[in-house]
Amino acid sequence: MPSTPDTQSTRIELVPASPEQEPILANLLEFYIHDFSEFYPMDPGPDGRFGYPNLSAYWSHPDRYPFLIEAGGKLAGLVLVKKDRGVASVGPVWDIAEFFILRAWRRKGIGTEAAHQAWERFPGEWELRAMQSNRNAVEFWQRAIAGFTGAAIKPALLEKGGVIWQVFRFESKPAAKE
């Protein structure tokens, strides 16, 4: 198995996924859902797959954006971005619906850089959530958001269906024009 390159000099890129790459995203989502099943009970179907309903909507809905994350030209994960009304919001907000970094690439700054690129690409109000029981995700989002905004964001707590979520709200400002 090839090793991951030195991430200090590795270019991290958020690559818009084409409809032809839907099977790649579907495969990565299987790993993501498997990992997530540690915190939320999900069973695979009779075919041994978890599946991801409505993945194809990311190519047909105007406010949904699928991305692959590449590190040094190699597949490192995925980001699904959508504009939605959010869980704790009055109006529409940007949301990272799904975010996944392959295990070999974790804790190397790739996820943080990919999140920052997503927030830069879509300026405006953002709302992110993480299950309170998923401490690694909560801590990741706290660090990534603080690194992006320059300030710690105190999450709101939200209970939904017996699950407690930490919800982070912040604004991504448009890049200054040169």
Alpha carbon distance 133, 117 (integer Å): 27
> What is the count of structural domains for the chain?
1
Q: Does residue 79 belong to any structural domain of this protein?
A: yes
Tell me the pLDDT tens digit for each residue of 9-38: 689 999 999 999 999 999 999 999 888 778
Better-scored residue on pLDDT, 144 or 3? 144
Query: Does the pLDDT at position 162 exceed 90?
Result: no
The CATH code of the domain that includes 167 is 3.40.630.30
User: Position 133: which residue type?
Assistant: S
Q: Does residue 116 belong to any structural domain of this protein?
A: yes
Instruction: Let me know: does 13 contact 70? Beta carbons within 8 Å.
Output: yes
Alpha carbon distance 23, 85 (integer Å): 28
Alpha carbon distance 68, 16 (integer Å): 6
Q: What is the 3-state secondary structure (H, E, C) of 11-60?
A: CEEEEECCHHHHHHHHHHHHHHHHHHCCCCCCCCCCCCCCCCCCHHHHHC
Q: Does residue 178 belong to any structural domain of this protein?
A: no
Q: How confident is the model at residue 5 (pLDDT cuts 50, 70, 90)?
A: very low
**Residue 112: domain span:** 12-172
Q: Does residue 53 belong to any structural domain of this protein?
A: yes
Q: Does residue 58 belong to any structural domain of this protein?
A: yes
Q: Does residue 63 belong to any structural domain of this protein?
A: yes
Q: How confident is the model at residue 1 (pLDDT cuts 50, 70, 90)?
A: very low
Name the residue with tokens 């994350």: 69
Tell me the pLDDT tens digit for each residue of 34-56: 887 788 778 888 898 888 999 99
